[in-house]
Amino acid sequence: MDTLLGILHMCIFPGGIFALVIGFFFKGLDRRVEARLQRRVGPPLIQPWLDTAKLLTKETLIPKTACTQAFLLAPVVGFAGMAVCAAFIPVPGVFDGLSNMGDLLVLFYLLPIPAIAMMMGGSASSSPFGAVGFSREMIIMLAYETPLLMILLSVAMLVGKSMSGGDWGAEFSLLKIVEWQQVNGSLGYNPVMIPAFIAYLIFLPGTMGVAPFDIPEAETEVVEGPLLEYGGPLLALFHVGSALKTFVVLGLGVAMFFPGTIGDFWLVNLIWFVVKCLVLMLISLTVVKSATGRYRIDQAFRFFILVPTMLALCSLLLVWLI
Amino acid sequence: MSISTYTMPLGPVHVALEEPVYFHLTVEGEDIKNVELTSGHVHRGMERMAMQRTLVKNVTLTERVCSLCSNSHSFTYSMVVENALNLAIPERAKYLRVMAEEIKRVASHLFNTAIQAHIAGFKSLFMHVMEVREVVQDIKETVYGNRMNLASNCIGGVKCDVTNELLDYIMKQLEVLEPQTDELYDIFQTNHIMLTRTKGLGLLPTEDALALGVVGPVARGSGIARDVRRDSPYAAYPDLEFDVITEPGCCVHSRTMVRLREIKESIKLIRQCCDKMPEGPVCVHMGKIPVNEAFAHSEAPRGEVSYYIRTNGTDIPSRLKWRVPSYMNWKALSVMMKGAQIAEVALVLNSIDPCVSCTER
C-alpha cells in the first residue's frame, strides 16, 4: 500500500502532474515577466504547454555518430530523477513529503541528476558543442554543489542542535525541519541563516542554468550545448524535466527557509506555498536574469567559490559556534 | 593534433554571427589553439555586375553591397563618379549627404553595441540598445521613407530635398536620442558583467594595429587617430566641427566605447548640418562622360571605404573596384584571437564589426 501511495505521490501530487503544472506555470510567468521588464509583450502563459505539444508531434532524430542508448536515456533519467525528487518536497500544511527521515540527504543526491543527464546527453550526442557543454556543465555543477551542501548542513545542524537541546546534532528530515520552524519561527528570519538564504538565492540561477550562469547552454557561444542535437519528444522531455526542477528547487527553498502556514485549510496553504515559490522565483531567477549578462565559465566558478560558498560557510560556522 | 585537442566548427550558420563565415577552431578544453577562417559564402559577383550596368544604375547596386553601411557605399560611389566626371555638386547636397551618412553611422554603431550585449548573454541590454536605435530608425523612416536603405544619394547630388519641417523633426528626435545615448555609455562603462566580459579581451596593441593597417573604430580603439573625415575631408566635413575619438585600451571594451562616443559626435554633426544647411538646388546634371579614372574614399561606420572607377566614354564603367574596411580589420583577428576562449570568439569577432557581405560582395 505504501509503495502504491509513493508512486501516486510521484505521479500526481506533489510530483508528476502537480509539479509539472506548477513548473510550466512558473516558466510561462517567468518568460512573461522577463518580457515585461524588457518592454516586450511576451508569450501567453500557456506557451510552455504549446511548445511541449509541438515538440511531441515532431519526429525523433538521432545523430548517426551518437551513442544511441545513452542519447535516448539521458532525458528520461533527468525527467525521472526530478519526478522522484518532487515527491520529497513537503508542502506545509498539505503534504508531509514522501519520507520522514533523511530526505534532505536524498534530495542532495537527486538534485544533480538533471545536470548529469544533460552531461550524458551532451557527450553521447558526439557533437563538439555537446562536448564543450558537457565540460561546462561539470564545472558549474562542482561550483554550485559545494555551497548547496553547506546550506543543507547548516539548516540540518541548526534544527538538530535545537532539537537535541543544544548538543551536537543534525536533523536531515525535511518534515521535522518544517515542523521545527512552524514552532520556532522561519529560518529565513533567523539572522544566523540569512547568509545561507542569500547563498541559496545565488544557487538557484546556477542550478537552473539561467543568466548569469547559463554558460553550459550559452546560445551565442555553444548553441545550446548539450541540447543542440536533441529535438522532438526527447527535447520536450528535457523541458519537462527542467519545469519539474524549477518546482523542486523552489519548493526546497520554501521548505527550508519559509515554511509558515496560514490557517488549517489545505487549499489556502497550497496557494500560500505556490505564492511563496513564485516570489522566490521572481527575485532569484527572473529579475536576476533580466538584469545580467553571462559570465565566462572560469569567472562563474570563481564567483561561486568566492560569494555563495563563503556566505554558506559563514552560516555553517555561526551555527556550529552558537 | 594531440588527443586533448579537438576541432570545433563555428559557422557558417551560427547564432552569434549575423553573416555567414566559417571558423575552424582547434580547441583544448575551453582554450583556442588555432583559428582558421574560410569565407566566400555570400560572394555575389558585385564588381562584375557593376561593370554590366550603367553609372546611374550602379548607385542602386552599390547601396545593396551591405545593409548597415549601405549609405556609405552609394555615397562614395557617387563621389568617385563625380570625380571622374569632374562634377561639382551643390552645397546643400553636400550637407544632406553628410546628414544621411551620420544618421546611418549612429544606427550602425548602436546595432553593433546591441549585438555585443546579445553575445554576452545580456538580453535586456540588447533590447534596451535596440529600443534606443529605434529613435534613429524613426528618423530614417520619416525622412527617407526606408528603415535600412536610405536611397538618398544620386550622381550629382541627392535624390530628395529634406524640408525645414523634417529638419525640425530630426532636431527633436536628437533631443530624445542624446540622453539615452549618455545612459547607454554609463551602462557599458560601469556594468559589472559587460566589463568582466569585454575589458582586456581581444587585445590589439597599437604597434600591431599600425602594422596591420586597421581602420575605423578598431584603429581608434587602439589609440590611433585615423579618420578619413578629418585626414582628407570630403563633402561638407571641412566646414563641420567634430572630434576624432580614440581610446587607449586596445581591447573589445575600448572599441565599444569608441563607438558609443562617436554616436555623440555624429549627433553633433547632424545638428550642425541642420543649422548650417544652405539653400539651393540639391542635384546637378551629369553632363558628358569622359574617358577617365578616379578615386574616392570616405569614412564608413566600420572605417575607410575606397572606390576606384575607370570610365571609357560610355555610360557603363569599364572597371569599378572598391575596398571595404572589414577587409583591413579582418587580418587583425589573428592577433586578437590569440589566447582567447570559446566563449570569447564571438565577442572578439563582433568587436571589429565585421561586414562579410561587404568584404565578399
B129 pLDDT band (50/70/90 cuts)? very high
Cα separations in angstroms, B294 against B50, B76, B84, B98, B348: 16, 11, 5, 21, 36
Of the partner residues A40, A135, A222, the one whose CB lies closest to the CB of residue B29: A135
ipTM computed for the complex:
0.81
Residue A166 predicted with pLDDT over 70: no
Say yes or no for a CB contact (<8 Å) between A128 and B128: no
B151 pLDDT band (50/70/90 cuts)? confident
Residues facing B298 on adjacent strands = B305
Give the nearest chain A residue to B16 (CA atoms): A220
- DSSP code of residue B148: S
Say yes or no for a CB contact (<8 Å) between A135 and B30: yes
Closest CA to B219 of B303, B345, B299: B303
Residue A166 CB: number of other CB atoms within 10 A?
Answer: 9
User: Given this model, what pLDDT does residue B1 score?
Assistant: 43
Q: B341 touching A, CB under 8 A?
A: yes
Q: B97 touching A, CB under 8 A?
A: no
User: What's the rounded Cα separation, in Å, for the pair B177 and B73?
Assistant: 25
Q: What is the mean pLDDT of chain B?
A: 87
Q: Three-state DSSP class for B6?
A: strand
Residue linked to cell 536610405? B150
Q: Three-state DSSP class for B353?
A: coil
Report yes or no on whether pTM surpasses 0.90. no
- CB contacts, 8 Å: A290 with chain B: 123-124
- CB contacts, 8 Å: B6 with chain A: 128, 131
Q: What is the pLDDT of residues B227-283, one digit of tens each?
A: 888 888 888 888 888 888 888 888 899 999 999 999 999 999 999 988 888 888 888
B3 pLDDT band (50/70/90 cuts)? low
Average pLDDT estimate for A120-148 = 85
User: Given this model, what pLDDT does residue A1 score?
Assistant: 65
Say yes or no for a CB contact (<8 Å) between B342 and A132: yes
Domain range spanning residue B283? 5-360
Q: What is the pLDDT of residues A137-147, one digit of tens each?
A: 888 888 888 89
Say yes or no for a CB contact (<8 Å) between A221 and B123: no
- CB contacts, 8 Å: B131 with chain A: 39
Q: B6 touching A, CB under 8 A?
A: yes
For the ranges A1-5, A42-46, B118-122, the lowest mean pLDDT is seen at A1-5
User: What's the rounded Cα separation, in Å, for the pair B287 and A265?
Assistant: 91
CATH assignment of the domain containing B165:
1.10.645.10
DSSP string, B255-277: HHHHHHHHHHHHHHHHHHHHHH-
* Interface residues of chain A, partner chain B, Cβ below 8 Å: 34, 37-40, 128-129, 131-132, 135-136, 211-212, 214-215, 218-223, 289-299
Average pLDDT estimate for A25-46 = 90
- The phi, psi pair for B47, rounded to 5°, reads -65, -40
User: What's the rounded Cα separation, in Å, for the pair B159 and A145?
Assistant: 65
Say yes or no for a CB contact (<8 Å) between A296 and B127: no
Interface probe, candidates A221, A287, A297, chain B, greatest B C-beta count within 10 A: A221
Of the partner residues A39, A131, A221, the one whose CB lies closest to the CB of residue B131: A39
Q: B117 touching A, CB under 8 A?
A: yes
Give the nearest chain B residue to A36 (CA atoms): B124
Q: How far is B259 from chain A (nearest CA, A)?
A: 20
Domain count for chain B: 1
- CB contacts, 8 Å: A39 with chain B: 127, 131
User: What's the rounded Cα separation, in Å, for the pair A132 and A297?
Assistant: 11
Say yes or no for a CB contact (<8 Å) between B8 and A211: no
Average pLDDT estimate for B287-312 = 89
